[in-house]
Structure 1
Amino acid sequence: MSTQTATATGAFSRRAAYLLLAAVVLIWGANWPVMKVGLAYVEPFTFTALRMLLGAAALFGVLAATGRLAVPTRRDLPVLLSVGLFQMAGFLACVMFGLQTVDAGRSAILAYTTPLWVTPVAVAVLGERIGAWKGIGLGLGLAGVAAMFNPLGFAWDDPAVVRGNGLLMLAAFCWAVAILHVRAHSWDSSPLQLAPWQMCVAAPILTALALTFEGTGSITWAPEFLAVIAYNAPLATAFCFWGAVTVTRALPAISTSLGFLGVPVLGMLLAAVTLGETLTLTRVSGLVLIVAGMALVNLADLRSD
């Protein structure tokens, strides 16, 4: 298999997938402080529904313009639903609620604790093997998550804060379900062809939540918010959700879940620079452990390619 697109259904080689993973990590990492800024102009579910609708429109436009727009096959319906419901609707809904009471850096860490859920299932059900280097890397990554989570570092006596942290952990679980299903699924269509349809599954759910909890609401169409939407719709939504599913298809589930820990690493650093969030010693040590763990796992995969 070459380092270019490998098949008509959009499978990538490992080397190409890691390049795509790097792009997704960069865009999503930067999006954590961007989303925090966006919430000053719009309610969370309204924001999420808007970016999902605009992202779907962008992808439908790309597919129509390139002659690749197609109705999903019956065999692809399960993965269409699981990604739409869990990775898009469930993950984003929990994250946006959590961001209201948890700072952007901590939110990014909790929402990406997917290796905790993915690893045991990937080994037991998907038959993935953990060699020595990958095992050490996974251990370092999870140790980094534990260090940055720092359960002594937030107010357990504040119900809103506890609820926010719990919702962010639930977000990680939702994404883990999608990662495992994407890895196990036999595809007819490519991830690009399915992505806008998956967004069409998520958008009505997010819109219904917006109407239920926020009413018709109001959006402050300030230039800063327009910039947030311009970043979120085509890049952080359309490109990155396609890229995340494509990467998940090409790489082992354990490697994928650990690789995406690069998002909170970058998100936390940028939140400290742009929003003035505190970068404590425990967070710095966690960052170092996660980066070291990602490097070991990625090198182990690339050596076996």
Structure 2
Amino acid sequence: MIIWGVNWPIIKIGLRSIDPLWFAAARLGIALVTISVLLLFLGRLKRPHRQDVPIVLGVGVMQFAVFVTLINMGLTEVNAGRAALLAYTTPLWVTPGAYFVLKEPVSRIKLVGAAVGICGLLILFNPLGFDWNDASVVKGNILLLVAAMVWAISILHIRQHKWKGSVLELTPWQIMVALLIVVPYAWFSNTQAVVWSAELVLILLYNGMLATALAQWASIRATQILPAMTVSLGLLMVPLMGILSSTIWLGEPFTMTLGLGAALIVGGLLLQINFRKQR
């Protein structure tokens, strides 16, 4: 959560020097090398089982290619704190899917926790807080919301799939699927020139090795073993970290609306935690 939370202002800074599409491609490429070297060292680098082909394609397309690309594109138009918030509206889409598609049990306290967390999210979202007449800003907000929906579908797919191989063993193949989409898209798009610097290299390494290779693996593994609603609500800690780090590093304003929304999200998470302990 901390790795992803502080990464929002880091990406925002990086996008000053590199196009969002090539940023996504570089991030995925570094992650692929990192995971592949680790698996080679462990002697576990192998082709995926036929049974896992759907999850390789699904996660590769949705969670690695589409989600990563959309958040980069959205961040070019939206403040880092708000972007983190919009991208993590995932519970709004996961909750009904978990109940109707996965048939996960939903108790009263779990529903209350979800409702409290989502209320905090809606307060933080505050659609009156940006200019609807600015087409680029509206586009950025829409891209981030679409990213959240795509990730929600990926969470449901991960929970529903009958895994043969481990998450770690399948991750490099999922990243390769994403690169087959992102690299041609970046190559044939009119992109800005990259302004190389030591800062940009460090940002790309952080995103590739930690925010993608390590954090994405941990996220998929958690999704595999925990209820979809619990995972999606737990991930709400990421935008809280994003808002806090963006306020500190980028000087983005911290308002009463942000404080109230954050308090409700934490309250919803505590209800979820208490529910799990009582089971």
Structures share a fold, TM > 0.5? yes
Question: Partners in 2 of 1:224 and 1:212 — Cα distance?
Answer: 27
Which of residues 34, 52, 66 in structure 1 aligns to 2:42? 66
Please tell me the residue identity of whatever aligns with 1:223.
A
Question: For each residue in 1:84-114, what CA deviation from the matched residue of structure 2 results, as whole angstroms up to 9, or x when unmatched?
Answer: 1011111111111110111000000110111
Q: What pairs up with 1:148-159 in 2 under 5 angstroms?
A: 148-159=124-135
The aligned counterpart of 1:162 is: 138
Question: Partners in 1 of 2:227 and 2:269 — Cα distance?
Answer: 13
Task: Tell whether 2:36 aligns with 1:97.
Answer: no
Question: Partners in 2 of 1:124 and 1:130 — Cα distance?
Answer: 11
Which of residues 209, 222, 239 in structure 1 aligns to 2:197? 222
Q: Does the Cα contact within 8 Å between 1:83 and 1:178 map onto a contact in 2?
A: yes
Question: Partners in 2 of 1:73 and 1:283 — Cα distance?
Answer: 46
Q: How much does 1:59 deviate?
A: 0.3
The aligned counterpart of 1:250 is: 225
Q: Does the Cα contact within 8 Å between 1:43 and 1:214 map onto a contact in 2?
A: no
Question: Partners in 1 of 2:115 and 2:91 — Cα distance?
Answer: 10
Question: Partners in 1 of 2:102 and 2:37 — Cα distance?
Answer: 35
Question: Partners in 1 of 2:31 and 2:105 — Cα distance?
Answer: 36
Count of residue pairs brought into register by the alignment: 279
Q: How much does 1:250 deviate?
A: 1.0
Question: Partners in 1 of 2:34 and 2:278 — Cα distance?
Answer: 37
Question: Partners in 2 of 1:45 and 1:133 — Cα distance?
Answer: 42
Q: How much does 1:209 deviate?
A: 2.0
RMSD of the alignment, in Å?
A: 1.0
Which of residues 174, 182, 200 in structure 2 aligns to 1:198? 174
Q: How much does 1:204 deviate?
A: 2.0
Q: How much does 1:303 deviate?
A: 2.9
Q: Does the Cα contact within 8 Å between 2:30 and 2:205 map onto a contact in 1?
A: no
Question: Partners in 2 of 1:246 and 1:214 — Cα distance?
Answer: 36
Please tell me the residue identity of whatever aligns with 1:90.
V
Q: How much does 1:227 deviate?
A: 1.5
Question: Partners in 1 of 2:277 and 2:190 — Cα distance?
Answer: 47
Q: How much does 1:279 deviate?
A: 1.0
The aligned counterpart of 2:260 is: 285
Q: How much does 1:212 deviate?
A: 2.5
Task: Tell whether 2:215 aligns with 1:240.
Answer: yes
Q: TM-score, normalised by structure 2?
A: 0.98
The aligned counterpart of 2:242 is: 267
Please tell me the residue identity of whatever aligns with 2:200.
F
Please tell me the residue identity of whatever aligns with 1:248.
T
Q: How much does 1:211 deviate?
A: 1.5
Which of residues 181, 188, 193 in structure 2 aligns to 1:212? 188
Please tell me the residue identity of whatever aligns with 2:239.
P
Q: How much does 1:132 deviate?
A: 2.0
Please tell me the residue identity of whatever aligns with 1:144.
G
Which of residues 140, 150, 159 in structure 2 aligns to 1:174? 150
Question: Partners in 2 of 1:51 and 1:159 — Cα distance?
Answer: 28
The aligned counterpart of 1:125 is: 101
Q: Does the Cα contact within 8 Å between 1:118 and 1:180 map onto a contact in 2?
A: yes
Q: Does the Cα contact within 8 Å between 2:55 and 2:157 map onto a contact in 1?
A: yes
Identity %: 43
